[in-house]
Structure 1
Amino acid sequence: MGLMAREETRTRKSTTVRGPAATDAPAGDAPTGAATRAWATRLVVVGIVLSAVNLRPAITSLGALLEEVRDGLGMSGSVAGLLTSVPPLCFAVFGVMAPRLARRFGPGAVVCAGMVAITAGLLIRPYAGGTAGFLAGSALALMGIAVSNVLMPVIVKRWFPDRVGSMTGLYSMALALGTAAAAAVTVPVTRTLGGNWQSGLAVWSVLAAAAVLPWIPLVRDRGTASAERASARGEPSPPLRITRSRTAWALAVFFGLQATAAYITMGWMAQIFRDAGVSAGTAGLLLAVTMVMGVPLAFVIPRVATRLPHQGPIVIALGVCGLAGYAGLYFAPAGGAWAWAVLLGVSNCAFPLALTMVGMRARTGAGVAQLSAFAQSTGYLISIPGPLLVGVLYQHSGGWGLPIALMTGLMLPQMAVGVLAGRNRTVEDEAAR
């Protein structure tokens, strides 16, 4: 309770944003207005959690069945590497559109549409026929993920300005839970459905469809939508040249390098273990362990980060875990598999840390939206070559030595720029100089 109180006091002092939950109602309608706001706030919490759960199964379910998909579609190693590079490409291309769409339609409506796109993409891609159709269906799902990725910090900042750390932690924990669940149960579910990889991938569309439901009343509720737009118009939004901010660039590069590590892990780690002699089911469980480490840590790290004036020590600790995990994969991939899975899972918690820093490095909701779009779109562009290079190096070297060396080499600059991004300053101040 003391931690929560300190966090709320500190956040109230550092932001002037008032989200829809804090919109004033006329005096005569105070009880009704308060009840409506409370109802809408609870619905937003449910929507945030369900949406976050659906932001990674499209990727980790494919990682668990990548060998079966490659065989079924006749993919080479290089094409499979391209497939693992599609997520960051879509996140970069479509994520940059999110702030403009949110200003026009409202963040809730855009996230609702994103969940619809995820549902459709997951249902279509296994049955589209051929590699091109599979890529197109994946791109549709990833488009929905992209806009939701960018707008989640915006929704948290707008609806919960006094609880950024706690709500970011809840959102990150739900995301990690969905990621781990998809990695853990995709192979067993596929076996239950007769061993058909198409059914094993398509089943995740049901969970995505459930995430659409909480946003529908918010989209149809004109009062809530109007409050969101009024809040957006009421925020001071002077011209912000985000590219003038060194912190914004450092955060974008940090985001890109941690995304590179995460998507290489999600796309290839199970295959590394399988090539070392680990069974397919156990390899899926090891990937799940890596993902599930983010469930508790994704809730704890944002709250700890908001208490620190500088997030550099957290960046260093996560990076050291990553370096140790890569060393283990190189020297004893099967012998110490569970330990390496845990260490890489801890290292992957750079993602919730990056999301938290997005909320901390800007003072206003408009600044968060701009910083989130810039950091994520630029970061995902940076991350595109990584998974593809891993596939190419694996195919041409015939082993995992060079890919692991690449992963290790990328972790060092990730730690350096993360320390720079963790400094206590805001992009508004830097861009105004």
Structure 2
Amino acid sequence: MAASEETRTRTHPDVSGPATSPPATVGERSPARAWTMRLVVLGIVLSALNLRPAITSLGALLEEVRDGLGMSGSVAGLLTSVPPLCFAVFGVMAPRLARRFGPGAVVCAGMAAITAGLIVRPYTGGTAGFLAASALALMGIAVSNVLMPVIVKRWFPDRVGSMTGLYSMALALGTSAAAAVTVPMTEVLGGSWQSGLALWAVPAAAAVLPWIALVRDRRATSAGEAADRQEHAREDAPALRITRSRTAWALAVFFGLQATAAYITMGWMAQIFRDAGVAAGTAGLLLAVTMVMGVPLAFVIPRLATRLPQQGPIVLALGACGLAGYAGLYFAPAGGAWAWALLLGVSNCAFPLALTMVGMRARTGAGVAQLSGFAQSTGYLISIPGPLLVGVLYQHSGGWGLPIALMAGLMIPQMAVGVLAGRNRTVEAEAAR
């Protein structure tokens, strides 16, 4: 049991090294500490709930936003490419900001940025302002996404697996809830897409509050800073030449291609169903079904992957589900809509598999951190053109045939590099050759 917990701990890509001591001893149970720990858990859950609604709520109302702002298909494709671009650019800044200001303060600022971006973007009155406000919200998501696991590691070093599971479940629930309820809530609010999008600023604002309390708690802040100094003092391993590893490159490309599929799905799948004659509310529910598949499978897939010496069979199974789902979208998008949503939801669970393989393909904590940084930054850069290209193809072909063919075509190299990334070897051994 202890071994499986250690494996799960190392599967998360944003943990930068060995476990740090919590800001107070585990055995301490003073009222002040108990209150602080509850506040940290609340902050983690509320933050995770707000890491995707800015994206999936827009996907559910993309047609109304396009009509309201006069967007072309190409510009809408650019809009769906903004999330991975922001994750690649701003996520790199998060560790440096955390070292200077502390992870809690940066996450607090990130939640505030999400709130501000979601309030402003529906009312900017133009495409440029809408894109800029979206980028502000996504910047907050990017830095928070990177630092949340660091906070889990700091405060719950003996419960990383269970707290990461709670965090992952909250993230998936927030993702699916935004897809499911944005259209019905928009109708309740009078049919204004601006109100439907701005609504998601409310939970984001709620997520700011526990972090404000934690940042103002000087005892917790100073203890956390001491833990960080201990961590940096222990981290003296030399840097790997990660680009020498074929496995690192395979994993980076696999991460990028699965992210491409995920952001195309979040940005365009509801529109594909709506163009096939599915009602807007039902299309949002279908997207929610696809997203919510990540809740149970995020627990099942990593455990299965760690029991296999090679993860290629899981990669192929997920890829087969994706190909079947895309075939269904091509030939009978409305007739089998629920089945295609389920299949694509399973296929999109390549994300937790990628995180698991990051932990399995390196021997040390420092190696995991380097591999994670390389795979994620390179992967998000790879994923940027995909949603934009889908928008261009949709606009110029006048239908979804070519975009769906592109999505299915990208699944083939994803399966190939996933099999290579899943081989039983480590980046340290490859980089040393």
TM-score by length of 2: 0.89
**Map of 2:171 onto structure 1:** 175
Letter of the 2:99 partner, please give it: R
Change (3 A) 1:218 1:358: farther
Aligned to 2:48: 52
**Which residue number in structure 2 is paired with residue 62 of structure 1?**
58
Deviation of the 1:157 alpha carbon: 4.9
Q: Is 1:374 matched with 2:374?
A: yes
CA–CA separation in structure 1 for the residues paired with 2:411 and 2:294: 18
The equivalent residue for 1:73 is 69
Q: Which residue of 1 aligns with 2:431?
A: 431
Letter in structure 2 aligned against 1:327: A
Compute the displacement of 1:41 (Å).
5.1
**Cα 1:99/1:363, change in 2 over 3 Å:** farther
Residue aligned with 2:333, SS: coil
What corresponds to 1:8 in structure 2?
5
1:89 maps to 2:90? no
Please show how residues 298-313 of structure 1 align to structure 2 within 5 Å. Answer: 298-313=298-313
Note if contact 2:8-2:302 (Cα within 8 Å) is conserved in structure 1: no
Cα separation, partners in 2 of 1:210 and 1:366, compared to 1, 3 Å? farther
Alignment map for 1:16-35 (pairs within 5 Å): 17-21=18-22, 32=28
Q: Could you tell me whether the CA contact under 8 Å between 2:24 and 2:223 is conserved in 1?
A: no
Partners of 1:158 and 1:365 within 8 A in 2 = no
C-alpha separation in 2, matches of 1:39 and 1:309: 43
Q: Which sits farther off after the overlay, 46-55 or 198-207?
A: 46-55
Amino acid at match of 1:87: P
- Tell me how far apart the structure 2 counterparts of residues 169 and 312 of structure 1 sit (CA, whole Å): 24
The 1:125–1:397 alpha-carbon spacing in structure 2 relative to 1, beyond 3 Å, is same
User: Which stretch of structure 1 is more off in the superposition, 283-292 or 31-40?
Assistant: 31-40
Over aligned residue pairs, what C-alpha RMSD do you find?
Answer: 2.7
Q: Which segment drifts farther, 277-286 or 104-113?
A: 104-113
Deviations 1:368-398 (A, max 9, x none): 4433332222111101111111111111111
2:203 alignment counterpart:
207
SS in 2 for 1:209: helix
Q: 1:233-283 CA deviation, whole Å, 9 max, x = no partner?
A: 322332233323323222211111011101111111111111111111111
Kindly indicate whether the alpha-carbon contact (under 8 Å) linking 1:153 and 1:359 is maintained by their aligned counterparts in 2. no
Q: Which amino acid aligns with 1:208?
A: A
State how far apart, in whole Å, the 2-side matches of 1:38 and 1:314 are.
Answer: 41
Q: Which amino acid aligns with 1:53?
A: L
C-alpha separation in 2, matches of 1:135 and 1:170: 31
Counterparts of 1:285-300 in structure 2, within 5 Å, are: 285-300=285-300
Structure-2 separation of matches of 1:310 and 1:42? 39
Return the match for 2:184 from 181, 188, 191.
188
Gaps of 5+ in 2: none
Shift of 1:198: 0.9
1:318 and 2:309 aligned: no
Question: Shift in Å at residue 413 of structure 1?
Answer: 1.1
Following the alignment from structure 1 to structure 2, what is the Cα–Cα distance between the partners of residues 222 and 250?
Answer: 41
User: In 2 relative to 1, CA 102–372 (structure 1 residues): closer, same or farther, beyond 3 Å?
Assistant: farther
Letter in 2 for 1:271: Q
Structure 1, gaps ≥5 residues long: none
Residue 227 of structure 1 corresponds to 227
Name the structure 2 match of 1:386. 386
- Counterpart-to-counterpart distance in 2, 1:45 and 1:307: 30
Q: Deviations over 1:136-170 (max 9, x none)?
A: 00000111111223334444455555655544433
Within the alignment, does 1:145 sit opposite 2:141 as a pair? yes
* Matched letter for residue 114 of structure 2: I
Deviates more, 1:301-310 or 1:393-402: 301-310
SS of residue paired to 1:19: coil
Match for 1:20: what amino acid? S
Taking the aligned partners of 1:364 and 1:106, their CA distance within structure 2 comes to 25
Q: Give the secondary-structure state (helix, strand or coil) at the position aligned to 2:71.
A: coil
By how many angstroms is 1:336 displaced?
A: 0.3
Aligned residues: 425
Distance in 2 (alpha carbons) for counterparts of 1:80 and 1:395: 10
Query: C-alpha offsets along residues 341-384 of structure 1, whole Å, 9 cap, x if unaligned?
Result: 01001111111222233344345554444333322221111011
Equivalence for 1:265: 265
Q: Does the CA-based 8 Å contact 2:301-2:352 persist in structure 1?
A: yes
Tell me, in whole angstroms, the C-alpha distance in 2 between the residues paired with 1:91 and 1:149. 9
Q: Secondary structure at the match of 2:59?
A: helix
Whole-Å Cα distance in 1 between the matches of residues 426 and 207 of structure 2? 33
Is contact 1:169–1:303 with CA below 8 Å preserved after alignment? no
Partner of 2:239: 239
In 2 relative to 1, CA 132–212 (structure 1 residues): closer, same or farther, beyond 3 Å? same
Cα 1:392/1:217, change in 2 over 3 Å: same
| 2:238 match: secondary structure | coil
Change (3 A) 1:47 1:366: farther
Matches within 5 A, 1:109-188: 109-157=105-153, 159=155, 165-188=161-184
Over the matched positions of the two proteins, sequence identity in percent amounts to 84
CA distance in structure 2 between the partners assigned to 1:125 and 1:357 by the alignment: 37
Q: Contact 2:21–2:227 at 8 Å: present in 1 too?
A: yes
Contact preservation (8 Å) 2:10, 2:359: no
Post-superposition shift, 1:324? 0.6
Seen in structure 2, the aligned counterparts of structure 1 residues 229 and 35 have a Cα distance that, compared at 3 Å, is: farther
Answer with 231-240 or 271-280: which moved more: 231-240
Q: State the partner residue of 1:406.
A: 406
Verify the 8 A CA contact 1:95 1:147 in the aligned structure 2: yes
